[in-house]
Amino acid sequence: MQDLIDQAIIQLQTDIGAEMPRVSLQQMPYPCYERDLFRMYVSAYFFPVLMTLAWLVVVASSIRTIVYDKERRLEETMKVMGLRSGIHWLAWFLNTFLGMLVMCVVIVLFLKLGDLMRYSDPIILFLFLADFSFATTMMCYLVSVFFHRTTLASLVGVLVYLISYLPFIVVVAIEAELLFWHKILVASTA
């Protein structure tokens, strides 16, 4: 269409019917769209629930071990032996975070080998899950600061983790009724 308009303008301005080189385009080859309801429901509804439940045990155990360390005063014992406090916390962080990264690798393998996210790049999926693991680890440390009893800290940590998932369920349930600016507001606060 643009080619025809350009030729018409040039012909009107120059009174010469010169033949211009034609522009031809071809779409990039891409597989046909497949409407797979199972894949759509699994990736939209079941995958977030599965991710939340997969990290539930890790959240409870990491909060329990951090508070147990505080309850038994193991950090002070390590200070007496010459270990700096920052190194001690770095070791706990790496212990928790690397355990979650192993889980990220397993989840990415399941998603790619199970053909649930066919066109997604596994490296991007891993980075997304690693970011989620980092945020979850930081939440575990935040919750563990407020408690001195291991059992209570684990229970409250799991409750805080599950309650932080509830806004997602509500937004997915009412997504059809949300206006554009509501969605922008929800995305910016998340």
Question: What tokens does 114 get?
Answer: 């199970």
Ordered per-residue pLDDT tens for the chain, 190 residues: 777 787 788 888 887 766 666 666 667 777 777 777 877 777 777 777 877 888 888 899 999 998 998 888 888 888 888 888 888 889 889 999 998 999 899 989 988 888 777 778 999 999 999 998 999 999 999 999 999 899 999 999 999 998 888 777 777 778 778 888 888 887 777 6
The pTM assigned to this predicted structure is: 0.70
b/e per residue 139-148 (b: at least 16 CB within 10 A): bbeebbeebe
Domain ranges of the chain: 37-164
pLDDT of residue 17: 66
pLDDT of residue 18: 63
pLDDT of residue 190: 60
Helical H runs in 42-179?
47-71, 74-80, 85-113, 122-145, 150-173
pLDDT of residue 21: 66
* 18: CB partners within 8 A, 6+ apart: 10, 11
Q: CA-CA distance, 56 to 65, in Å (whole number)?
A: 14
